[in-house]
Chains A and B, each alone.
Chain A
Amino acid sequence: MSDRTENLLLILPGLLLLALAFFLPIFQMLALSVAGPDGPTLAHFARFLGDPYYLGILWRTVRLSLIITAICAIIGFPLAYIMARVGPRLRLWLIVIVILPLMTSVVVRTFGWMVLLSRSGLVPELLRDLGLVRRNFSLMQTETAIIIGMVQVLLPFMALSILGVITRIDPRLEEAARTMGCSFLQTLRTVILPLALPGIVAGSLLAFTLSASSFVTPSLLGGSRIEVLAASIYSSVTQTLDWPFAAAQAVILFVGVILVLIPYMKVTGRSHG
């Protein structure tokens, strides 16, 4: 058996799985999204794109995903840097702490936030005691709640992506920068940050795509009044039973994610060959 056929055999199960579990449903979804009573139609897309309500949902989804991604990057970069530079024992513990939330179900974590953020929960109660907010202040069912919950869910993806890159940066580069007269922050900005950029970009992509398509956390923390695209798809499927419209919304989300991925592939393709 030649190398080629061996490789082919090895890759076959993966390809089969991909074809059955990914491409087949995607094609079905594409077909469904243009299905109409009398042949193919773009009416479902027109309905979405012509309605300020649905455009608002799309904009909210994109806007929240960008904010969540940015916050994850701002918290994740220093965290990853510290994790990369401390001793191995401490690093292990830090990694465990970062990964630990991934071991519980997202629903459980979200319920934790619901308890903390509700009107009589710990956080609003504290803010009220400090006299910072009015009597009935609640963080539940706000976009802020969604952002807080999603950042916690997605931070591990960001921190671990950046960590992988930073650990490969030679510490002597930093030492060189310091001896050349850079302050610590200057070193961070001019040496570490540019070198860690591929990790930040990879982590941002993960965080963005995951948060754009997330459904459980936004619907539990945001409530039915703050709808994101994934929740809108869900209600079209289960409540109004309008599957073609749900498929059209899914295609719009899918295309949006692809549009984000393409520039990334271009950028990383250039720098890593």
Chain B
Amino acid sequence: MKSAFKTTILGVSAIALTAGAALAQDKTLTINSFGGAYEEAHKKCIITPFEQETGAKVQIVTAYSADAFAQLRAQKDAPQFDVIHFSGGQEIVGAAEGLLAPIDAAKLSNAGDLYDFAKANLAKGEGPAYSIAAIGLVYNSEKSPKAPTSWKDLLDPAIGEHLVLTDISNGYGMLGFLMLNQVQGGDLANIQPGLDTVKKLIDAGAVVVSKSPEIQQEFAQNDAWVAPYASDYAYTLRKAGLPAKFVQGSEGTPASYITASLVANRPNTDLALKFIDMSISPAAQTCFADALRYTPTNSKAELSPEVAADVAYGEDSVKGLIRFDPKVIEANRAAWVEAWKKTIAQ
């Protein structure tokens, strides 16, 4: 279904290009989005307003980060994307390989309002982060006897068998685990403290799930109280009628950055920059936070109190955001997953 969709879009864009309409060509932008609810929000918050404002046409190719990055690499000599979105830190590798073009911050009218971490390496080619999935503590506000406030609270024996951990083969699960590891004195060179803690939690009755829908099941049917997971998922749970809330652990909040990067060697640089500029605008970010509960990276984005309660919001909150080096995670993933599986095996 998805690939058929993709082919259709590629086909349509091919026709548009070969029709020789020079005007249409430099008014067309090709980007990737992540499908599903994300792509819907993407259209509503950024793509449609962009098309209305500039009169340009945006072609969307549905491709997740790893997939999109593979395509970008394969198209090295004749890139097809103008703007490419990543959530797994691929822009760092892409920039280092010269696949992404450096961005002059002066050309983005909204760059000045971005938090510093979101625009740190624009000059290197790493596009700005336009929203952030923050990993904190998702908890059941009715059944949980007290609201958790820190990562250390997960060790509370009272939680015991009401704790849900996510397998580190899942991206959010990995970030939550690395945070727990850090809180317990480990770092990216040594995950043993984290593994020991997980072992202790499991012996105390914690449940391990491997996919996000299972978290919902644990909350709905198995009396789960707390799960370290992403802020947007607490909202998903609430939409499903469960009394779920999100809180940032006081020791810090690991985050997954969603970035928009400029692809090198494409003709429409100005239009693409305008698109990126729009992605980091306060309006677009507010809209994204409303729809999916992602954290804005623009300090001017104004959230309603209801939305703000679900995300990391404001100068002080985002200061606590931690980004574990995606390159180190990628290099160690296989070994860590194996060590994790050996730890949780019973």
User: Which residues of A pack against B, CB within 8 Å?
Assistant: 53, 56-57, 114-115, 118-121, 136, 138, 140-141, 223-227, 235, 239-242
Contacts and interface: CB of A to CB of B under 8 A. Distances in A.
B327 interface: no
A242 B223 CA distance: 36
A120 B221 contact: yes
Contacts of B217: 114, 118
B143 interface: no
B345 A240 contact: no
Contacts of A235: 169, 337, 341
A140 B346 CA distance: 14
A121 B167 CA distance: 24
A167 B217 CA distance: 46
A224 B344 contact: yes
Nearest to A52: B342
Nearest to A142: B346
A48 to B, nearest CB: 12
A178 to B, nearest CB: 51
Nearest to A51: B342
Interface in B327-344: 333-334, 337-338, 341-342, 344
B149 interface: no
B169 A53 contact: no
B202 interface: yes
B307 to A, nearest CB: 32
Contacts of B205: 136
Contacts of A141: 207
B56 interface: no
A120 B223 contact: yes
B210 A240 contact: no
A56 B344 CA distance: 13
A226 B221 CA distance: 21
A224 B222 contact: no
Given A53-B345, A136-B205, A240-B334, 13 more contacts: A53-B341, A57-B345, A114-B217, A136-B161, A136-B223, A138-B222, A223-B207, A223-B208, A223-B210, A226-B345, A227-B345, A235-B169, A241-B334
7 contacts: A119-B221, A120-B221, A120-B223, A223-B209, A224-B341, A225-B208, A240-B334
Given A118-B222, A119-B221, A224 B334 contact: no
Contacts of B222: 118-120, 138, 140
A247 to B, nearest CB: 15
Contacts of A121: 221
Q: List 8 A-B pairs, minimum CB-CB distance, nearest first.
A: A240-B334, A119-B222, A239-B169, A224-B210, A53-B342, A225-B344, A118-B221, A225-B346
A194 B60 CA distance: 67
B345 A242 contact: no
A224 B169 CA distance: 11
A53 B207 CA distance: 20
Contacts of B169: 235, 239
- What size tier do the contact residues of chain B reach? 20 to 34
Nearest to B205: A136
A226 B167 CA distance: 13
A225 B334 CA distance: 17
A226 B337 CA distance: 15
Contacts of B337: 235, 239-240
B197 to A, nearest CB: 16
Contacts of A239: 169, 337
A226 B341 CA distance: 10
A191 B47 CA distance: 77
B189 to A, nearest CB: 20
Interface in B152-172: 161, 167, 169
B206 to A, nearest CB: 10
A242 B341 CA distance: 15
A273 B161 CA distance: 58
Nearest to B346: A225
B341 A227 contact: yes
A133 B341 CA distance: 29
Contacts of A242: 334
Contacts of B342: 53
Contacts of A114: 217
Contacts of A136: 161, 205, 223
Nearest to B341: A227
Nearest to A120: B221
Given A121-B221, A138-B222, A242-B334, A226 B346 contact: yes
